Amino acid sequence: MVQMGQGRIFTNVTTLDLGRIRRYVLESAVAGGGDPPAVDELVLAVNEAVVNIVHHAYRDEPGEVELSVSCSEGVILVILLDHGPPFDPTTMLSPDTTLPLDKRPFGGMGIHFMREFCDELRYRRDSDGRNELTLLKRFGPQLKGSP
Amino acid sequence: MLNMTIDILDGHVPVTVLRLEGELDASNYEQLISRAEALYAEGARNLLLDLEKVDFVSSSGLIGLHSSALIMRGETLADPEEGWAAFRAVSRDMLKSKSQEAHFKLLKPQPIVRKVLDTSGFSDIMPIYEDEQTAVDSFE
């Protein structure tokens, strides 16, 4: 069973905070035993998720993001919480990466990376009315998609 | 944080090597675009982006790469405030095929950056080199 770590609240988050948020995830995941290649991919996915929160949930107004990182039994779990209007990034379409760049729809690459670099993405609206996004990444001998 | 330095190297043609250091993300990708615009205004026509010391490139960073490639083609970029829709409009008449960029190339991306380039399809259209001299000599 994955034990949840203590969360950290980042306030007035803008894109200028992305670096320190990435470092927090990196250090927490590595401290929890995550292997570097898996952690690098997860950090990228979390970065994209936070950018979505900044742009879509908070409409580029500084807002609060709560983030927790836990590692156990070959799994890294990151949970992101924000107070924005309901926004489910898991329903966004991924772009067709075989298309020339000029024919791709607006945006979408962030969610594409989240899907490609995480083994599971889950969204729900929690009982406090917050958006809750869970990113799960397996590491070690497990293969992506394995139970 | 993103640091940028420049070298001018001679291959078959003069090549501007823009060396990045740090992380390329939503907070600073526009700095790359501005630098590419300035280089083009100063006469640079072949740009090699050295990514050896870049630890991180996000989807926003890819906008920086894409925009820089368009700049080296001589395209005028739309207002970045308009976002991807603007960039798409500018490149509509250019990227009719998936041929690789001739005036904008990448050097020594780190493994996670290479994954981003591969996953996004950018590695299909932006030449990537592991050797600097080979990269410089590839410009014509």
Residues of B in contact with A37 (CB under 8 A): 111-112
Looking at domain A8-138, what is its CATH homologous superfamily? Histidine kinase-like ATPase, C-terminal domain (3.30.565.10)
pLDDT tier at A87, thresholds 50, 70, 90: confident
pLDDT, position B99: 74
pLDDT tens-digit series, residues A48-81: 999 999 988 888 888 999 999 999 889 999 999 9
pTM of the model: 0.87
ipTM of the complex: 0.85
pLDDT tier at A22, thresholds 50, 70, 90: very high
pLDDT, position A108: 64
Residues of A in contact with B25 (CB under 8 A): 15, 18-19, 47
**Annotated domain spans of chain A:** 8-138
Cα torsion B46, B51, B53, B58: sign = positive
pLDDT tens-digit series, residues B49-62: 999 999 999 999 99
Q: How many CA atoms are closer than 13 Å to the CA of A95, on its beta-carbon side?
A: 22
Q: Is A15 on the interface with B (CB under 8 A)?
A: yes
pLDDT, position A5: 54
Cβ of A18 within 8 Å of Cβ of B95? The answer is no
pLDDT tier at A106, thresholds 50, 70, 90: very low
Q: Is A80 on the interface with B (CB under 8 A)?
A: no
Residues 59-118 of B with CB under 8 A from A: 59-60, 62, 66, 83-85, 87-88, 91-92, 94-98, 111-112, 115-116
- Helix crossing, B59-72 with B111-120: angle to 10°? 70
pLDDT, position A61: 87
Minimal Cα–Cα distance from A127 to chain B, Å?
A: 31
pLDDT tens-digit series, residues B119-128: 988 998 899 9
pLDDT tier at A2, thresholds 50, 70, 90: very low
**Does the pLDDT at position A147 exceed 50?**
no
pLDDT tens-digit series, residues B66-102: 899 989 988 876 665 555 555 454 444 444 455 788 9
Domains contained in chain B, CATH given:
2-138 (3.30.750.24)
Whether B12 contacts B139, CB under 8 Å: yes
pLDDT, position B78: 61
